[in-house]
Structure 1
Amino acid sequence: MIGLVLAGGKSSRFGQDKALYRYPNQKANNVEVTVNKLLMVCNHVLISTNTQNYSVIKRQFSHLNNVDVIVDQEPFKQHGPLSGIYAASCQNPQTTDYLLVAVDYPLLSPSVISIIASNPNSYAATPKNSHYAISHFQVSKRTLHDYLLFGDFRLSHFIIDSRRCLPISFPSYQSFLNLNSPEVQS
């Protein structure tokens, strides 16, 4: 299983790069926190970045042999989370088992990640929200490429309709705090 960190969002509502942001009282930025949690259950982690934060993140993880930094690949650049998944599939064209976590969840507990990792074809859900950016699925480059040719770039549709993932229910608590706006920064 390969850990896949989504760290390439535009962060337009948040107002600054979420991947490089350091949540109050954390010792590392969000991308490092997420990578460290994934390394608890994965031997290898890919970080999907954007062209603006690629160099900084690549430098940050250059000392780790089991972490690679990637960017979107043609023909599916800048189509949100599915572009990051496609970039990962370009690195691993065969059917590959991915554990996906976005940097948007700086307080996500390692136990949640471990539970999702233990349940293939799953995603995290709380009573009021589905968290598709915390999921476990398998896909090959060919399968994903063919899916994306239809033009549906919604992560929810990919996770539910294409990968047939099922929700794993968790209680609503601070672990699922999602950094979508500046108000949640403190």
Structure 2
Amino acid sequence: MLIGLVLAGGQSRRMGQDKALMCYKGNTLIDRATSLLQSAKCSEIMVSRNEPGFLNDKIQDVGPLGGVHAALHALCPSNSFFELLVLPVDMPQMTPQFLTQLVSSGREHNAACYVENRFLPFYLPVTQATENALNSYLVKEKKRRVVGFLEEVGAAALQEKSGQSSAHWLNVNAPSDWPHDR
């Protein structure tokens, strides 16, 4: 089962307002990310956001991996194997086609998968061993780098295709980052 995870728990300090609730082409960034994951064939979508009604971090102040950890914690007791497709809320120009390709590449490699030098979004096949590795990484080793965790679980780092539009990599963190067509 492919489950989409929207990472929307950041503090939006550089943006100056809650960017997850900002609108892009008539939808909030949370709604846009959810729609992208649905279009990428995720059967269920979870939103990591430390607010009532959303998935809340179990370990505080560990960045994006806190959302991944909370999702694994919520899903692992009832699922022996599933897949996560992790997308940050602040990539409004990401495409479902790219996300689908990322999942296909991960399945082909039979491993977690991300694009080299761009650790988000990523695909993560999950077993109990994955949850154990993340717990160890965050709690025992006190690390929080996404790429470090992906390397630890043997993720495939894909090469970015040359000549491919880089628009879908836009990451909006500050007002100056917003695309002109919003």
More helix by share: 2
Equivalent in 82, 85, 90 of residue 99 of structure 1: 85
| Offset of residue 30 of structure 1 | 0.5
Name the count of aligned residue pairs. Answer: 163
Tell me how far 1:169 sits from its aligned partner. Answer: 1.7
Q: State how far apart, in whole Å, the 1-side matches of 2:15 and 2:153 are.
A: 30
Deviation at 1:146, TM superposition (A): 1.7
Report the Cα distance in structure 2 between the residues aligned to 1:9 and 1:162, rounded to whole angstroms: 24
The answer as to 2:137 corresponding to 1:147 is yes
1:71 is aligned to 56
Moved over 3 A (4+): none
**Alignment partner of 2:152 out of 138, 153, 161:** 161
Q: Identify unmatched segments of 5+ residues in structure 2.
A: 107-111
Could you tell me which runs of 5 or more consecutive residues in structure 1 were left unpaired when the two chains were aligned: 59-68
Residues 7 and 67 of structure 2 are in contact (CA less than 8 Å); yes or no, is this contact kept in structure 1?
A: yes
- Counterpart amino acid of 2:121? I
Partners of 1:117 and 1:85 in 2: CA distance: 17
Alignment check: 8 A CA contact 1:101 1:134 kept: yes
Find out whether 1:86 has 2:86 as its counterpart: no
CA contact (8 A) 1:92 1:141 kept: no
CA contact (8 A) 1:19 1:31 kept: yes
TM-score normalised over the length of structure 2? 0.82
- Deviation digits for residues 128-176 of structure 1, max 9, x if unmatched? xx22121101233323112212011011111223342322524242111
Cα distance in 2 for residues equivalent to 1:175 and 1:13: 21
Q: Map 1:36-75 to 2 at 5 A.
A: 36-40=35-39, 41-50=41-50, 54-55=51-52, 58=53, 69-73=54-58
Q: Using the TM superposition, give the Cα deviation of residue 96 of structure 1 relative to its aligned residue in structure 2, in angstroms.
A: 3.2
Give the structure 2 partner of residue 10 of structure 1.
11
Q: Which residue of 2 aligns with 1:180?
A: 173
Deviation of the 1:107 alpha carbon: 0.9
SS of alignment partner, residue 97 of structure 2: helix
User: What SS is found at the alignment partner of 2:14?
Assistant: coil
SS at match of 2:60: coil
Identity of counterpart residues, as a percentage? 28
Corresponding residue of 2:119: 132
Mapped contact 2:133–2:153 kept (Cα < 8 A): no
Aligned-partner residue type, residue 174 of structure 1? A
RMSD: 1.7
